[in-house]
Structure 1
Amino acid sequence: MGTADAVPGVSGGTIALLTGIYDRLIAAITSVTPGVARRALAALAGVVTRRGDGVAELRSVLRDVDAAFLVALGAGIATAILTVTRLLHVALETAPVATYGFFFGLIAASAVALRGQFRVDTAGRVGAAVAGFLVAFLASGHAEAALGATPLTTFLAGVVAVSAMILPGISGSLMLVLLGQYDRMSGALSAFVDAVFALASGGDVAAVVAAAVPVVVFCLGGVVGLLTVAHAVRRALAVYRRATMTFLVALVVGALRAPVVEAASETGGWTTGAVGGFVGVAVVGAAAVFALDYAAGGIDVE
């Protein structure tokens, strides 16, 4: 899931479906509620003050939220993101046009894989499709300039990306590309890892702290996203499933503009060679998603 979530256009939710853990993942995430948090805090207070049976209550809370599963899954996701994101950051630095071409293929194939979830047979669904497409298309290439690189932007990017990553077919990294934050956040994560390794060989603690700030802010946004927006998205899928999926599929289609704009900014203008390279790598990316979709037996979020 971490590898998929690090790559725009490939969904960690699809990997969860493929491995048979999607229902368990959603149940675990949505089981974390304010009431459960209060129980956990009360149990911790009991453990610290040695009043009541705090240990037993804490164990009960951890079982209720399937904590062992979430910790193991989270560790795997974090490990993969740390490695894959670094590789992609290097790719963006050394071969940006080819990398964005690869992203384009991934995103386009994801839209095709989700076509069965797209419905425009009612006025509401038509409106959802138009809104999803316009939001993504208009934001592509302009969101970065509009949002900037502030801590608030980083926090909001974490909210959106982590909320999206649990949905089959929708990639959190795709949302970062759409918001113009993918290159910045992958660079920030790589800088943090470099600072940590440098510290192990006598580096500066201050450098680690400085590099950790955007990563921590992004992660805080991700936690808030999981506890709030993810619940809202699941509720929308439960009550307005067709309209919600139609909006999301249209969003993916509109987001196809983002890697094209990013690649164009790197080339300074499309040449025959640049177009050929972009398209060739896009085909490879699309083939990877189609193979994954075939292995997963198709995307279904009923």
Structure 2
Amino acid sequence: MGAADAVPGVSGGTIALITGIYDRLIAAFTSASPALVRRVLADLVRDRGDLRTVFREVDGAFLLALGAGIATAILTVTRALDTALETMPVLTYGFFFGLIAASAVVLRDEVSLDTLGRAAAGVTGVVVAFVASGSASAALGESLAATFLAGAVAVSAMILPGISGSLLLVILGQYERMTGALSAFVDALLALVTGGSVATVVDTAGPVVAFLAGGVVGLLTVAHAIRAALEARRAATLAFLVGLIVGALRAPVARVTEEVGAWTGGVLAEFAVAAVVGALLVAGVERAAGGIDLD
């Protein structure tokens, strides 16, 4: 799931479906709530023995094992992608374009636009993502507050097969920044082991801590809001979410334009080949999952 979540267009939720842990994942995620957090804080003060009960209620052992695996994969995959974005931006963003496009195709059967409201939701999703992903510099920005918000939105996407948290980071203009920030933070930690400076660790920790804090809040709030929206207006919510994917196709194109300035025949060919590879990867994952069903 960590490897999938690190790549825009590939959903960790889909991997959870393939491996048969999706229902358990959803139960564990949605068991976390502000009320549970208050209960844990109270238990820390008066009754630490009850913490074991809370740990079992949220399927803590499962989440710890899953979290360790996700973290390990993200640390390795994001480093590779950070290097690829710096050295091969056209190929990398072309690959992302194929991933995103294929994800929209895979989810086509989940979308119904048979009413005006659903069609409006889908169009709204396309427009929001298209406008937001036009330029990295025009997106959320680089403040810690923006990073916090990006973490909340991206992590909450883990509850939906077919919706990629990294794709949402691309839309928000945070993907390249966060892969770089995570690589810098890990480098600082590794350097600390060999005599590096603690100050460097502190300097690079800000974006990572803000993103993780946003992720925790996202699981406690945004994920529940998405789940409530799906229960109340499932068809319209799915139309909006898939609309986001379609609109996000602008993001890789815009990033390549920022990198190369003008599109040449060579750039287009390079981009297209990488896009085909990305699309084939999503098709293979979807085939392994036996098709994505969001019901």
Are 1:5 and 2:10 an aligned pair?
A: no
Task: Give the paired residue count.
Answer: 295
Cα deviation per residue 1:120-163 (whole Å; 9 max; x = unaligned)?
10111011011000001111123532422111111111111111
Q: Does the residue aligned with 2:114 lie in a helix, a strand or coil?
A: coil
Q: Aligned partner of 2:14: which letter?
A: T
Distance 1:160 1:38 in 2: 23
**Cα deviations across residues 230-260 of structure 1 (Å, max 9, x unaligned)?**
0010111112111111111111011001001
CA distance in 1, matches of 2:222, 2:201: 30
Is contact 1:43-1:58 (8 Å) kept?
A: yes
Contact 2:135 2:255 in 1 (8 A): no
More displaced 10-residue stretch of structure 1: 34-43 or 188-197 = 34-43
TM (norm. structure 2) is 0.98
1:119 aligns with 2:109: no
Is the Cα contact below 8 Å between 1:163 and 1:226 reproduced in 2? yes
Q: What residue is the counterpart of 1:196 in the other structure?
A: 189
Contact 2:132 2:138 in 1 (8 A): no
The offset of 1:167, in angstroms, is 1.2
Describe the superposition over 1:254-293 as per-residue Cα deviations: whole angstroms up to 9, x where unpaired: 1001001101111111000100010001000000000000
Q: Which amino acid aligns with 1:271?
A: T
Match for residue 232 of structure 1? Answer: 225
Match of 2:95 in 1: 102
Q: 2:124 aligned to 116, 122, 131, which one?
A: 131
Q: Which amino acid aligns with 2:10?
A: V
Structure 2 distance, partners of 1:12, 1:227, is 18
Consecutive unaligned residues of structure 1, counting only runs of 5 or more, are 48-53
**Which deviations, in whole Å up to 9, do the C-alpha atoms of 1:88-108 show, x marking residues without a partner?**
000000000000000000000
- Establish whether residue 41 from structure 1 lines up as the match of residue 41 from structure 2: yes
> Contact conserved, 2:139 with 2:172, CA < 8 A, in 1?
no
Q: Give the Cα–Cα distance (whole angstroms) in 1 for the partners of residues 91 and 4 of structure 2.
A: 18
Q: Distance in 1 between matches of 2:260 and 2:23?
A: 43
Alpha carbons 1:144, 1:179 under 8 Å: kept: no
Aligned residue number for residue 175 of structure 1: 168
Contact 2:91 2:271 in 1 (8 A): yes
| C-alpha distance in structure 1 between counterparts of 2:57 and 2:176, whole Å | 37
**Matched residue SS, 1:281:** helix
Instruction: Note if contact 1:100-1:263 (Cα within 8 Å) is conserved in structure 2.
Output: yes
1:59 to partner: Cα distance: 1.3
CA distance in 2, matches of 1:111, 1:219: 28
Equivalent residue letter for 1:21:
I
Give % identity: 67
In 1, the alpha carbon distance for the partners of 2:88 and 2:111 equals 34
Query: Out of 54, 59, 71, which is 1:61 matched to?
Result: 54
Question: What letter is aligned with 1:138?
Answer: V
Structure 2 counterpart of 1:67, which letter?
Answer: G
Partner of 2:236: 243
User: How far apart, CA to CA, are the structure 1 residues paired with 2:95 and 2:78?
Assistant: 14
Query: Does structure 2 retain, via aligned residues, the 8 Å contact 1:102–1:284?
Result: yes
Amino acid at match of 1:43: D
Determine which of 250, 257, 265 is the counterpart of 1:272: 265
Query: For each residue in 1:190-233, what CA deviation from the matched residue of structure 2 results, as whole angstroms up to 9, or x when unmatched?
Result: 00011011111110000001111110011001111110000010
Q: For residue 109 of structure 2, give the secondary structure of its aligned residue in structure 1.
A: helix
Residue segments in structure 2 that go unaligned for 5+ positions in a row? none
**Matches of 1:179 and 1:293 in 2, distance apart?**
25
Counterpart CA distance in 2 for 1:13 and 1:39 is 29
Pairwise CA RMSD of aligned residues?
1.1
Give me the TM-score of the superposition, normalised by structure 1: 0.95
| Structure 2 match to 1:51 | none
Q: Secondary structure at the match of 1:141?
A: coil
